[in-house]
A and B are shown apart, each in its own frame.
Chain A
Amino acid sequence: EDQVTQSPEALRLQEGESSSLNCSYTVSGLRGLFWYRQDPGKGPEFLFTLYSAGEEKEKERLKATLTKKESFLHITAPKPEDSATYLCAVQEGYQKVTFGTGTKLQVIP
């Protein structure tokens, strides 16, 4: 059973069109939920860590939120430079970090 499921697999937005990416998880003892951005041909770039339900973090046009079952990455008024694959990962207790397959975001000028 997958511990981390991201949706949608791909998302195409017009510049300025706000939207949200979803990350659902099934781990019981969540130690941390992580969001990364990955550009083509590069390694993932760390964005946020969330630890408990109700927590929110923001960075420029990105805002990450967390509930007991899922996390959302909200993108407000996106720009073409926000185009990338966004990865979600979770850590259950002191186990390894498990990554989702990502959402590929394309922002059209």
Chain B
Amino acid sequence: SAVISQKPSRDICQRGTSLTIQCQVDSQVTMMFWYRQQPGQSLTLIATANQGSEATYESGFVIDKFPISRPNLTFSTLTVSNMSPEDSSIYLCSVEDPGRSSYNEQFFGPGTRLTVL
């Protein structure tokens, strides 16, 4: 399975600022996903990022708030813009196994724990 790293692992930010989270994969993958996991809740898909095209956002998430870049097949960033305390959460990136993508099994990075004061 792919090895996925995320930076930063955690951060504490002030209200109104923005944070960019990086996701690096050790192999080329077509589809990358960004999730949010709030305390005691399930994973919620924010958007799907394919290389060379605009990210596809889920209902309740907009590009102005969560801009995503996907410059190549091994890297993506998620920016949380104009943050409020409600954005405090764990943000996770995931990929589909490059050798078995048809099965939709996803492999996750370690997550970024964000606290907004």
Contact = CB atoms under 8 A, between A and B. Distances in A.
A4 B103 CA distance: 19
Interface of A: 4, 31-32, 34, 36, 41-46, 49, 87, 89, 91, 96-97, 99-102
B103 A101 contact: no
Interface residues of B, number: 22
Contacts of A4: 42
A96 B57 CA distance: 11
B104 A99 contact: no
Nearest to A34: B105
Given A43-B92, A87-B43, A97 B104 contact: yes
A44 B108 CA distance: 6
Max chain A CB contacts within 10 Å: which of B43, B45, B94, B108?
Answer: B43
Contacts of A89: 43
A101 B41 CA distance: 5
Contacts of B40: 101
Given A43-B92, A46-B1, A91-B104, A99 B110 contact: no
Nearest to A2: B42
Interface string B41-85: 111110010000000001000000000000000000000000000
B108 A43 contact: yes
Contacts of B103: 32, 49
14 contacts: A34-B104, A36-B108, A43-B92, A43-B108, A43-B110, A44-B92, A87-B42, A96-B45, A99-B43, A99-B44, A100-B42, A101-B41, A101-B42, A102-B42
Nearest to A4: B42
Nearest to B56: A96
A96 B58 contact: yes
A99 B105 CA distance: 13
A105 B111 CA distance: 21
